[in-house]
A and B are shown apart, each in its own frame.
Chain A
Amino acid sequence: MDFNLSREHQMLRKMMASFTENEVKPIAAETDRTCTYPKENIDKLFDLGVMGICVPKEYGGAGADPLASAICIEELSKQCASTGDIVATHNGLCCDPILANGTAAQKAKYLPMLTTGRKVGAFCLTEPNAGSDASKGQTEARLEGDHYVLNGSKVFITNGYVAEIFVVFAMTDKTKGTRGISAFIVESSFPGFSVGKHEQKMGLHGSPTAEIVFQDCIVPKENLLGVEGKGFKIAMQTLDGGRIGIAAQALGIAEGATEEAKAYVKTREQFGRPISKFQNTQFVLADMELASEAGRLLTYQAATRKAEGKSYTKEAAMAKLWCSEHAMKTTTKALQMFGGYGYTQDYPMERMMRDAKITEIYEGTSEIQRVVISNNIGL
């Protein structure tokens, strides 16, 4: 058992840390305050090969592994969870399902768009009345000759109003429940595709979230991803992988908050000494570091199992559950160390705390992670 990152992964972390420090950190507060999609940085991440990092080189990707993707998302999220989220969604929820389930023609057409073509990807599963119970989706896909006609709407779609390639789930046979769900690759330029409401969120202000509406949307028959009726399986498998990305994002938020807190407590003096000298401060920070270390091990383990082709459903759920709850607790405690300053927008703590909350909700709530874990422990 080797707990060391490979030299390539270490080098990647160094590169991403430098990119985050120089490019992401300086605009993170402004990105949040103005709810701006950080397009310039996302374009740079395309150039560096971070967007579509796991896509094989023949399709314009970097041919790296899920651990590499996790490291990138973790480093970005230390300073800007929105940027981490955009990358996590693009890599885990759009490139991955096309790579895993696409035909040779679909991969040859869409993966280069998602890498060298600089087109952002998204994933459309959630509907107004189908969240944790994804089987209750109402969006329909009707086969008419050489194309499907999609009708319905999807909500809370990350990258919604900037993405151009969407992996969409719709019912091809309502009588069959989850076995009636199929997956499609939909381009934003297809007739009948439109972007609905832009969500105003508590956090992740730089991550563009929107409603996506399909009104007699024409999707060529060859854009069916996988086979008809296997969409639910594709969705669940995709979310298994996506959870590694969210675990990495949450871990990054927690690590970022811990670093901010460590720097602050050494300079903030109360009762005649830096507050880092108080045992309460030290113990809280010790717990934060411990939880991050555990989160790293869980996340990297899940990513490594995925790379090795082993089952990782349980491990990814554990990593996501642990890291997201850790991010929420840690940002709350880190903000507390800043006292009143932490509550102001002069410091990044309140942003980090707002950003952390969503990691307990999306790509499967904490409750759903517990369902997934308990389904995999022989009960």
Chain B
Amino acid sequence: MSNLEISNISKFYEGREVLKNVGFKSSEKEFIVVVGPSGCGKSTLLKTIAGLTSVDAGRILIGEHDVTRAEPGDRDIAMVFQSYALYPHMTVAENMGFGLRMAGHPKQQIREAVEHAASILRITDYLDMRPKQLSGGQRQRVAIGRAITRSPAVFLFDEPLSNLDAALRTQMRVEIGQLYRRLDATMVYVTHDQVEAMTMATRIVLMNSGVIEQVGSPIELYANPVNRFVAGFLGSPRMNFIEASVTDVNDEQIVVALEGLDDIRVARRHGVGVSRGDTVTLGIRPEEISVGRQRRHQLPARVELVEQLGREVIAYVDTGSIRAIESENGLGHLTIQVDRKSAMSRDDDIHIGFDAEDIYLFNADGMTMTPNRDTEKSPVHEVSEA
């Protein structure tokens, strides 16, 4: 049983509340990725689950046991560190068997557990080597192997791939995903990398300044962000935000005006408060903006910078009157992402367009004012917030 429940955790550090009433629950085997910008409290959250940091309020349950005050070794967890944290004076096999040896398990049993874990991770050949003889990727495998050897109920990963180069990172990402399917355990994986979050998670916990902003499957968070922070955090290149004002409101629709464009009629989220004259933020993802005249709303733009990524092209365009806020380059340019075949170069004058149904609206507090979109039913679990 890999039940993990965290409820109302608070943690103060030097007078500052680094975790504010944080909670989520996983009732079955899940791959939970905790993601957020640096300093959002995600690593602290992981350490509280591990028991390396104490909490000031709240409860942690692992497999039906309240472990809030338990020592890390008694929590049925295993942790994989960003810096690997291998014992340099021990061989790979000794590193992997350390936990069981400390617990006084018989030698034969330790050897079997180590060999089993080593075969899963294909590091059997390195068992007699020392950490310094291994490459970064191999060391991280050993660190994961050390966690597997103890067969815990919950695996905790603290940015395990950050020290690896890009190619290795992709490879290890896939491997950890496969490992998850193979092992009967819940994984809690902390990262600042949204690609890791999107690709590996069954559920994402998105954090910002000590609070959980949203919990849900990757596609739910991407398609239906609850607020502007979530919308801006997930997706690369990030969503364009433009300031706009509400010109008309009815039960179904919000009408916003942007200079030089027809009135944009956007569906209204049920029960959301809005009135004429409100300043709102309009959000649109770069891939929803297309070049040409085929969309409902369109405007002329000048290409300022083109990034050719091979598979796609990212262009930063200046639309004159409409300025993006918090834009990637700080110049108020809109970011658009188009097919690689679209020939574009600097200083080209083009037309860009979008449809009203791809628009998100956020109120002054950043809350989403547009209704949820249909996400394809993915084989993920229900969002349950503790």
Do A and B bind?
no
A interface residues (Cβ-Cβ under 8 A, vs B): none
B interface residues (Cβ-Cβ under 8 A, vs A): none
